[in-house]
């Protein structure tokens, strides 16, 4: 039996083994935690906008044939010009749509621009510009192998405390619990999904969440991890820019990237 004609089991939906892959890149955030300046995705890393690094990282996978960039609401024209100005793989199609008020809304708007033939959809933060292609491919492989939702994840270095959040910034916060660190993971992007599962998650979950996989969890469907990568970190605060430029400098030394 060919992979394509694999029977659909009674369990959660799964993408056909050779399903085409689209990537949605939400890039419509302001980057408030990074400090004043242009929208975060448009700020430069080593002279190139963060978004362009992120697009290159996803399009580096030979499996990704469509990239949908979700631009700042007033920025689609600028983003289209940026994509035109940079050499990108010819085997990949690029679409730009305007974003929304929240990450969740921006992802939903990007997902709506993915044609139905794409059975696998990746969602990748523009703010994680340096994710290695091996991580992208590991996520794709796990979805094509039948997982409805896949997240790259890393063990934590710090011990984590659950607290009663303070009402004023800087006030002491009572510690409520110390979850067992060995069972915790920090999750990254790209998160990968069987397309129908992701569409259903966005249609069903209305509460504000911080990642797409948690919406699938709310549907009661399984979410699995694959190993994440240190270089897939999220550029959130100013020090992250320093780290990102250092990673790029090391890559230039090692392989001329
Ligand atoms: N309305 C929004 C908010 C966020 N994002 C995107 O979601 C990703 C992860 O969000 P985050 O790192 O929190 O970015 P910002 O929202 O820009 O950061 P901040 O919270 O510091 O403003 C980023 O690529 C960001 O551009 C988006 O597309 N639309
Ligand atoms: C999706 C995410 O990158 C997974 O770690 C993260 O939840 C995004 O959070 P943010 O606060 O919107 O950056």
The residue whose CB lies within 8 Å of the most ligand 2 atoms, and thus the one to mutate among 211, 223, 233, is 211
Alpha carbon separation from 257 to 25, 67, 152, 166, 229 (Å, rounded): 22, 21, 23, 45, 18
Which of 50, 234, 235 gets mutated to test ligand 2 (max ligand atoms within 8 A of its CB)?
Answer: 234
Which residue has a Cα nearest atom 4 of ligand 1?
Answer: 29
Q: Give the distance (Å) from ligand 2 centre to CA of residue 71.
A: 17
CA 74, 76, 77, 79 torsion: positive or negative?
Answer: positive
pLDDT tens-digit readout, 75-133: 999 999 999 999 999 999 999 999 999 999 999 999 999 999 999 999 999 999 999 99
| Pocket of ligand 2 from Cβ distances under 6 Å | 103, 125, 187-189, 210-211, 234
In this prediction the ipTM stands at 0.98
- CATH level 3 topology of 21-162+183-205+215-255: Spore Coat Polysaccharide Biosynthesis Protein SpsA; Chain A (3.90.550)
> Which residues have C-beta within 8 Å of that of residue 230, sequence separation ≥ 6?
154
Of 25, 53, 42, nearest in space to 252 by CA: 53
Give kind and range of the element (H or E) at residue 252: helix 238-255
The rounded distance, in Å, linking the Cα atoms of 197 and 149 is: 8
Picking from 136, 109, 145, 125, the residue whose alpha carbon sits closest to that of residue 12 is 145
Contacts of 201 (CB under 8 A, 6+ apart): 193, 212, 215, 216, 218, 219
Q: What pLDDT, on a 0 to 100 scale, did the predictor assign at position 144?
A: 97
Q: What's the average pLDDT block by block, 10 residues per block, for the chain (257 residues)?
A: 46 82 98 95 96 98 98 95 96 97 98 97 98 98 97 98 96 97 98 98 96 98 98 98 97 80
β-pairing, 185-187 with 149-155? antiparallel
Is the CB of residue 114 below 6 angstroms from any atom belonging to ligand 1?
Answer: no
As given in the structure block, the two tokens for residue 11 are 């369990």
């Amino acid at each position: 039996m060919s992979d394509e004609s694999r029977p659909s089991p009674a369990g959660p939906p799964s993408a056909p083994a050779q399903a085409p892959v689209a990537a949605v890149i939400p890039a419509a955030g302001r980057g408030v935690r990074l400090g004043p300046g242009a929208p975060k995705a448009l700020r430069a890393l080593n002279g190139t906008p963060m978004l362009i690094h992120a697009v290159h990282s996803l399009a580096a996978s030979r499996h990704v044939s469509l990239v949908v960039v979700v631009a700042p609401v007033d920025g689609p024209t600028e983003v289209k010009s940026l994509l035109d100005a940079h050499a990108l793989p010819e085997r990949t199609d690029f679409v730009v749509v305007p974003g929304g008020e929240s990450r969740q809304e921006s992802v939903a708007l990007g997902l709506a621009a993915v044609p139905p033939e794409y059975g696998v959809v990746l969602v990748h933060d523009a703010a994680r510009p340096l994710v290695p292609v091996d991580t992208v491919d590991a996520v794709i492989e796990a979805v094509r192998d039948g997982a409805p939702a896949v997240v790259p994840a890393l063990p934590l270095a710090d011990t984590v405390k659950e607290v009663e959040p303070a009402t004023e910034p800087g006030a002491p916060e009572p510690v409520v619990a110390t979850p067992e660190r060995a069972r915790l993971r920090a999750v990254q992007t790209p998160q990968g999904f069987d397309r129908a599962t992701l569409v259903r998650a966005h249609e069903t979950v209305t509460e504000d969440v911080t990642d797409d996989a948690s919406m699938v969890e709310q549907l009661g469907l399984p979410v699995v991890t694959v190993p994440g990568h240190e270089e897939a970190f999220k550029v959130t605060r100013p020090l992250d820019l320093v780290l990102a430029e250092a990673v790029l400098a090391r890559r230039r030394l090692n392989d001329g990237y």
